[in-house]
Amino acid sequence: MKRALSLLVVLFAASSLASETQVLPKNTWTFDFAWWRSSIDKQWSGDRKALPLIEENRRYEPGGGLQGILRAQPRADFDFLIAQAMYGITDRLTGVLYVPIVLRQQVTTNLSWEPGDYQSQLGRKYSEDDFWAWAGSLGQPRVPAVWNGGVKLGDMIVGARYLLPEFEWMSANHFRWAATLQVAIPTGTNFDPEEAVSVGTNLWELHAAGDVEAHLSADKQFFVDEFGVNRLNIGADVYYAFFRPREYTAGRGLKNPLLNNIAPYVGDKYIVDGGDWIAGTVSVDFSPFLGPTRASIVSGGDEKKAHALPPMLTLTLSYTRVQTFQSDWQSQSALWDYDREKFWQPGEKNIVRGTATVSLLRVGVPVQIYARYQSGDLIPGRYSRPANIFSVGARLVAKFW
């Protein structure tokens, strides 16, 4: 154990702050456990306006004209447990396994109703209660105000990062670069086509990462002290995310006949070929506080080595711009396809993240804890769905042989 912990010095001295190029020394593990609360309540239009996640539903009574307009301002909240294991296969090649577990899904539908045409048989316009009573007589249950889903597994991700060989000028200028390839394992679920409210947990529906991503990253360190610890790091990452076509089962209205009976014209199955992404991230890490430093088991009892461990407090700010391509629905109904594709035209996401990391390594505890807030709607995007995420996590570092 002592040997394992002492090697952390090597790890963190080499890659103490930015994650863009971080790799582990050979045979080293890190285990990262985080809790995420993700919320989404809007989508961006083509002109960067916030729209509800669900299009308004105009309801008609045959011969009676417009009953009214059913509008929803749904808000979806997810609680995730994210478990991540990284392993140093060589000193330059690190493998990673990423396991997202959805602990809770909650959708608050926030329905509202705009009355339509006067209905002579009622002597009034339909109220929302009138509408649901009417719909109930047609076998359509009222859509719940709040829907809760249980524990589900998301798409797992396996990946590998290779720290590319540095040119001489890179080493001299504290510059490094890396390439990463990650591939999703389809362990997530599709939404239930028969439910009025349902969310899936695969990467496309969460729109969190591509099924295959290829990254090229770089870090430049500044203010590096004699122990190899820097106070400022600027990182950059560009990547391409590919989404594989997914097959979905079309609803037959078995539970919601007025809302979900599409299979007769869409076909029993349809394909969603999600638009790929090209994205880029810039990040800045700043360490305002190095903290007390003492020789410990983590540094192998060597105070000098302890000074090479990461600063006690690091603040990170990053901006990611994701350029999304057109998504393609492929069913037997071009009109139905279009009604979905129009919200998934080429667009963009603008993601701003702030992270505070507290490292206890310098005081002899092999743990880092962090808190992060990610805003998807601080900068409006186009044709995308911005999620806001708060997360806290702990990272354990170990080497067992």
Q: What letter would DSSP give residue 313? A: E
Helix (H) or strand (E) holding 334: helix 334-341
Which lies closer to other proteins via its Cβ, residue 223 or residue 338?
338
341 contacts other proteins (rule: CB under 8 A): yes
Tokens matching residue 24: 């582990």
Of 276-305, binders to other proteins (CB under 8 A) are: 276, 278
- Contacts (CB under 8 A) with other proteins, residues 257-276: 257-258, 261-262, 264-266, 275-276
* 384-111-103 Cα angle (round to 5): 60
Task: Report the alpha-carbon distance of residue 287 to residue 222 in Å, rounded.
Answer: 11
Under rule CB under 8 A, residue 66 binds other proteins? yes
Work out whether strand 28-40 and strand 75-88 pair parallel, antiparallel, or are unpaired.
Answer: antiparallel
Q: Does 179 help bind other proteins (rule: CB under 8 A)?
A: no
Residue 212 within binding range of other proteins, rule CB under 8 A: no
Task: Specify the residue, 106 or 345, whose C-beta has the smaller distance to other proteins.
Answer: 345
Burial code (b: 16+ CB inside 10 Å, e: under 16) for 244-278 equals eebebebbbbebbeebbbbbeebbeebebbbbbbe
50 is a contact residue toward other proteins (CB under 8 A)? no
| 61 contacts other proteins (rule: CB under 8 A) | yes
Binders in 122-141 for other proteins, by CB under 8 A: 122-124, 126, 129-131, 133-134, 136-140
Stretch that binds other proteins, among 147-155, 167-175, 227-235, 338-346 (CB under 8 A): 338-346
Selected binder of other proteins within 112, 114, 118, 268 (CB under 8 A): 118
Supply φ then ψ for residue 373, to 5 degrees.
-125, 130
**Beta strand spans in 57-125 (E):** 57-61, 65-72, 75-88, 93-108, 111-115, 118-119, 124-125
Chain residues that interact with other proteins, rule: CB under 8 A: 58-63, 65-66, 116-118, 120-124, 126, 129-131, 133-134, 136-140, 253, 257-258, 261-262, 264-266, 275-276, 278, 325-326, 332-338, 341-342, 345-346
